[in-house]
């Protein structure tokens, strides 16, 4: 996707602070962190959002959920706890139309809707 900022991060066309990468997944620090640990985890493949998860691409989503605990452990929040968020669409406040999962932790997170 030419105009997708996260596809550009995958292609190293714009810089990012990557904390994890494999054949199908990239994770990097959020440019505007909302918590001491704020990592964005994405599939390398452009999937617009949760509405576009289907049998043909759900394998990478499952893989992301295997990778997330490893990242959490590396960031030191596996035991203290963390929140996983995926915003889908306008009302959720999705600003980047490339499926992504926020990992938030490193502090007591507010219990209100994130």
Handedness of CA 49, 55, 56, 57 (dihedral sign): positive
- Which residue is nearest to Zn ion, using beta carbons? 4
Among ligand 5GP, Zn ion, none, the one that 30 touches (CB under a kind-dependent 5 to 8 A) is ligand 5GP
Q: In this chain, which of 18, 29, 46, 63 binds Zn ion, going by CB under 5 A?
A: 46
Can you point out the beta strands (E) in the chain? 18-21, 25-29, 37-43, 82-85, 101-105
Smallest separation, CB 45 to ligand 5GP (Å): 17
Binding track, positions 32-51, relative to ligand 5GP; x by CB under 6 A: x-------x-----------
Sheet holding 25-29, edge to edge: 18-21, 25-29, 37-43, 101-105, 82-85
Contacts with ligand 5GP in 72-101 (CB under 6 A)? Answer: 87, 93-96
Closest-CA residue to 96 (of 25, 22, 46, 21): 46
Does the annotation mark 102 as catalytic?
no
Please give the residue ranges that form the binding site for ligand 5GP (CB under 6 A). Answer: 5, 14, 16, 28-32, 40, 87, 93-96
């Amino acid at each position: 996707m030419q105009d997708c900022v996260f596809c550009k991060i995958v292609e190293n066309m714009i810089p990012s602070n990557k904390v994890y990468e494999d054949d199908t997944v990239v994770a990097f620090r959020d440019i505007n962190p909302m918590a001491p640990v704020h990592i964005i985890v994405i599939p390398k493949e452009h999937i617009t959002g949760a509405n576009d998860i289907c049998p043909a691409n759900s394998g990478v989503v499952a893989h992301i959920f295997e990778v997330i605990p490893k990242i959490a452990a590396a960031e030191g929040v596996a035991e203290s706890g963390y929140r996983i968020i995926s915003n889908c669409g306008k009302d959720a406040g999705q600003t980047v139309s490339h499926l992504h999962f926020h990992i938030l932790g490193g502090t007591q997170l507010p219990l209100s809707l994130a």
